[in-house]
């Protein structure tokens, strides 16, 4: 089934036309979110307008009955409703009837699925592993398990399945506040936002070490204004020791969590996706794999964990392709 497919993250919106197994007219833009001080009402209105604008630009490329399929950054209820969107609207933000709002603006049926669910559908076509996990490391952190022995394929029922970003990994009173309102959650420590926050803190604590890093010398960062996109990620890709150590420190809780999930779920493979993981590149996968190996003291698994953890290139447009696969295979031909 051809479709307008959307990958909505906490920071970026990606849109494309999925037709005949290809993605056409790929568009990428930033979204307003709560970290910029925007209200929930503004965020949802802006988002619907952006998607409607893209639809207007591309509407002649799809038949009139083609759906809009959205890979969404949060849990989706059994009737397709948004249950939570902490990376977008923060704690306590009102949840709209997004399918109804978009359908009213575009005249098309709208289907929501979790973004990592979409990625798992696509990656199931790229591996022979029977049971694997997809973990997104982006504005937040989430995961989904794919099991070929289960008729559902992706295990996302109940909707909290895979919401590992809300596991408490730091129980100090001063631990970081998560977008959902809790403290010390994995998604606020090992995510892109968590790593950026940590980098600013470390830079401010030791200005001399920071001043020697590529973040400062080549990319012109200051502790208070350092960002992943402009400073930390390019420095890490260039092999900067300071930047890579920040990434390593932030990734420790994620690696510990993955060891638990691999052991408890009998997983054969873990795919790391998401904007932050992709921005850091192969070094992120290497660091997480090394940490996982170091945290595992079980002889049956020792020496194997690093090889179980793989990255996915940003050029794969994993969530977009997953939404397209879902429209074509799960929703069926039109």
Q: Using H for helix, E for strand and C for coil, what is the string for 134-160?
A: EEEECCCEEEEEEECCCCCCEECCCCC
- Is residue 257 within 8 A of residue 167, CB to CB? The reply is yes
Phi-psi region of 153 (alpha: psi -120 to 50; beta: other; left: phi over 0): left
Supply the pLDDT for residue 20: 86
Alpha carbon distance 153, 174 (integer Å): 40
Phi, psi of 113 (to 5 degrees): -145, 155
**Angstrom distances, CA of residue 58 to CA of 26, 101, 106:** 10, 19, 11
**Angstrom distances, CA of residue 208 to CA of 148, 217, 245, 294:** 52, 12, 15, 30
**Angstrom distances, CA of residue 147 to CA of 63, 126, 265, 267:** 33, 14, 10, 9
- Is residue 135 within 8 A of residue 163, CB to CB? The reply is no
The separation between CA 279 and the C-alpha centre of its own chain, rounded to angstroms, equals 12
Domain 128-316 bears CATH identifier 3.30.420.40:
yes
Phi, psi of 5 (to 5 degrees): -110, 145
Classify domain 3-119+318-330 at the CATH class level.
Answer: alpha beta
The separation between CA 212 and the C-alpha centre of its own chain, rounded to angstroms, equals 31
Supply the pLDDT for residue 217: 97
Tokens for 180, please give them: 């959902």
**Angstrom distances, CA of residue 68 to CA of 38, 90, 116, 250, 331:** 26, 25, 17, 36, 12
Tokens for 237, please give them: 């890709």
**Angstrom distances, CA of residue 280 to CA of 30, 92, 287, 312:** 19, 31, 11, 12
Single pTM value for the model: 0.85
Supply the pLDDT for residue 148: 95
**Angstrom distances, CA of residue 284 to CA of 45, 195, 239:** 35, 12, 11
Alpha carbon distance 41, 176 (integer Å): 25
Which parts of the chain sit beneath pLDDT 50? Answer: 334
CATH 3.30.420.40 placement within the chain: 3-119+318-330, 128-316
- Is residue 115 within 8 A of residue 7, CB to CB? The reply is yes
CA dihedral angle for residue 308, residue 129, residue 13, residue 90, rounded to 10 degrees = -70
Quick one: which of 327, 277, 313, 270 has its CA closest to 293?
Answer: 270
Supply the pLDDT for residue 315: 66
Cβ-based neighbour number of residue 322 at 10 Å? 31
**DSSP state, 94?**
P
């Amino acid at each position: 089934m051809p479709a307008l497919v959307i990958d909505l993250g906490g920071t970026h919106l990606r849109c494309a036309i999925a037709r005949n197994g290809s993605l056409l007219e790929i568009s990428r833009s930033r979204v307003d979110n709560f970290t910029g001080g925007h209200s929930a009402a503004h965020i949802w209105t802006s988002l619907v307008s952006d998607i409607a604008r893209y639809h207007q630009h591309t509407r002649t490329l799809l038949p009139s009955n083609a759906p809009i399929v959205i890979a969404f950054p949060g849990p989706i209820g059994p009737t397709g409703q948004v249950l939570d969107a902490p990376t977008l609207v923060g704690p306590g933000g009102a949840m709209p009837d997004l399918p109804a709002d978009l359908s009213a603006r575009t005249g098309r049926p709208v289907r929501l699925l979790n973004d990592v669910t979409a990625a798992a559908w696509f990656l199931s076509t790229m591996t022979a592993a029977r049971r694997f996990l997809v973990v997104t490391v982006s504005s937040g952190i989430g995961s989904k398990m794919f099991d070929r022995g289960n008729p559902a394929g992706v295990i996302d029922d109940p909707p909290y399945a895979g919401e590992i970003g809300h596991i408490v990994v730091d129980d100090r009173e001063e631990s970081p506040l998560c977008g959902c309102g809790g403290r010390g959650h994995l998604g606020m420590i090992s995510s892109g936002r968590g790593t950026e926050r940590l980098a600013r803190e470390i830079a401010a604590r030791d200005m001399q070490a920071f001043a020697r890093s590529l973040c400062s010398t080549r990319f012109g960062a200051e502790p208070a204004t350092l960002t992943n996109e402009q400073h930390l990620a390019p420095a890490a890709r260039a092999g900067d020791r300071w930047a890579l150590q920040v990434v390593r420190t932030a990734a420790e809780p994620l690696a510990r969590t993955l060891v638990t999930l691999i052991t408890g779920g009998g997983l054969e493979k873990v795919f790391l996706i998401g904007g932050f993981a992709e921005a850091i590149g192969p070094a992120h996968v290497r660091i997480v794999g090394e940490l996982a190996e170091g945290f595992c003291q079980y002889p049956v698994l020792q020496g194997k964990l690093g090889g179980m953890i793989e990255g996915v290139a940003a050029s794969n447009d994993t969530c977009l392709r997953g939404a397209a696969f879902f429209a074509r295979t799960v929703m069926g031909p039109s």
